[in-house]
């Protein structure tokens, strides 16, 4: 059975942007689209809840799902579309269960008067624990024909690199593979002197090339460009790159023994501040040990 793209909808404008992105993604992957609207249990558990209000909520949910499906079928007539209206289950659990058999989960981000994004607990829990990639869509962006993926040179970046190459191939987009390290000043061991940033960048370009060499062979049609920056931070560089991209792909790093949200600080920041949709891809393994470093101690 072909794994679907699963999209969560709530009838809002941000949800429509996410729906558009999910439908196009299902189309380029030639896979089904599943539309999900979750009815929380509380609507009938509140004391003195007016009679009939739960049925109103159910009708509204049906309308939201029906309108979403109608929109997709008009835009993509050949796309296989299904829907679900689960009730009585925490929304995050619904999407985590769906992720077990989905190609990806797509959710909309909330707007903010401060200009950045606001992610609710459902989105953050889904991003942190989903078995499949999770895409947070803040606005409709499609026209840069560029995908940006960040790597930290660890084996845990392999899953996000795999995802980015496949998306670039499917969307016929250029791929920008970024590694960012802000060189310490003054130099710290094992750096005994302040090296030329260009020399440092070239050294890391070789490491990144080694990391993606097999993917280049598997996706020869993808124009993958390595971008190493050593005078800025990952947050600064990736935020700037997102303004010129249709999709930003990041890894979600598990922290050994930590039972909180399994997502790194860089990914967390960019989920709130990226100028384009963000895909967070959980690693297949938990090891975060770098593959190799020409300038730093492993």
Q: pLDDT-derived band of residue 99, with 50, 70 and 90 as boundaries?
A: very high
pLDDT digits (tens, 9 = 90+) for 58-72: 899 999 999 999 999
Cα–Cα distance between 83 and 34 in angstroms, integer?
5
Residue owning tokens 């679907």: 4
DSSP strand E in the chain: where? 5-8, 33-36, 81-84, 104-108, 134-137, 146-150, 174-180, 224-229, 247-251, 278-281
pLDDT digits (tens, 9 = 90+) for 151-176: 999 888 999 999 999 999 999 999 99
Last residue of a domain, one of 140, 167, 182: 140
Same domain flag for 152 and 277: yes
Same domain flag for 153 and 271: yes
- Give the per-residue pLDDT at 8: 95
The answer to whether residues 246 and 168 touch, using CB atoms and an 8 Å cutoff, is no
- Give the per-residue pLDDT at 146: 97
Same domain flag for 68 and 188: no
Last residue of a domain, one of 140, 166, 194: 140
Same domain flag for 124 and 220: no
Same domain flag for 65 and 98: yes
Nearest to 280 by CA among 125, 120, 128: 128
Same domain flag for 251 and 298: yes
Q: pLDDT-derived band of residue 178, with 50, 70 and 90 as boundaries?
A: very high
Cα–Cα distance between 35 and 126 in angstroms, integer?
16
185 pLDDT more than 80: no
Same domain flag for 13 and 159: no
Same domain flag for 197 and 64: no
CATH number of residue 108's parent domain: 3.40.50.620
Same domain flag for 67 and 118: yes
Tell me the two tokens of residue 17.
């942007």
241 compared with 297, residue with greater pLDDT: 241
Cα–Cα distance between 39 and 238 in angstroms, integer?
36
Cα–Cα distance between 277 and 114 in angstroms, integer?
18
Same domain flag for 190 and 298: yes
CATH number of residue 167's parent domain: 3.40.50.12370
Same domain flag for 147 and 189: yes
Look up the domain containing 112 and give its range.
Answer: 1-140
Same domain flag for 74 and 149: no
Cα–Cα distance between 15 and 23 in angstroms, integer?
12
In the chain, the number of structural domains is 2
Classify the phi-psi angles of 110: left when phi > 0, otherwise alpha if psi is within -120 to 50, otherwise beta. Answer: beta
pLDDT digits (tens, 9 = 90+) for 7-28: 999 988 888 999 999 999 999 9
Last residue of a domain, one of 84, 118, 140: 140
């Amino acid at each position: 059975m072909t794994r679907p793209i699963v999209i969560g909808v709530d009838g809002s404008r941000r949800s429509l942007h996410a729906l558009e992105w999910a439908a196009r993604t299902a189309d380029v992957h030639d896979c089904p689209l599943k539309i999900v609207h979750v009815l929380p249990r509380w609507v009938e558990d509140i004391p003195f809840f007016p009679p009939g209000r739960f049925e109103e909520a159910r009708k509204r949910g049906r309308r939201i799902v029906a309108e979403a499906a109608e929109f997709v079928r008009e835009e993509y007539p050949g796309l296989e579309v299904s829907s679900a209206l689960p009730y009585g289950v925490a929304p995050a659990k619904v999407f985590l269960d769906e992720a077990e058999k989905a190609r990806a989960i797509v959710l909309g981000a909330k707007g903010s008067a401060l200009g950045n994004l606001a992610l609710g607990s459902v989105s953050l829990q889904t991003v942190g624990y989903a078995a499949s990639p999770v895409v947070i869509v803040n606005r409709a962006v499609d026209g840069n024909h560029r995908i940006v993926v960040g790597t930290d040179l660890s084996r845990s970046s392999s899953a996000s690199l795999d995802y980015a190459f496949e998306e670039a191939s499917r969307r016929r987009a250029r791929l920008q593979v970024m590694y960012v390290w802000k060189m310490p000043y003054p130099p710290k061991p094992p750096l005994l002197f302040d090296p030329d940033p260009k020399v440092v960048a070239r050294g890391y370009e070789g490491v990144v090339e080694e990391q993606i060499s097999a993917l280049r062979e598997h996706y020869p049609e993808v124009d993958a460009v390595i971008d190493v920056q050593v005078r800025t931070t990952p947050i600064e560089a990736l935020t700037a790159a997102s303004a010129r991209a249709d999709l930003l792909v990041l890894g979600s790093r598990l922290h050994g023994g930590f039972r909180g949200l399994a997502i790194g600080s860089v990914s967390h920041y960019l989920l709130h501040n990226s100028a384009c949709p963000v895909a967070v891809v959980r690693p297949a393994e938990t090891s975060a040990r770098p593959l190799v470093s020409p300038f730093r101690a492993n």
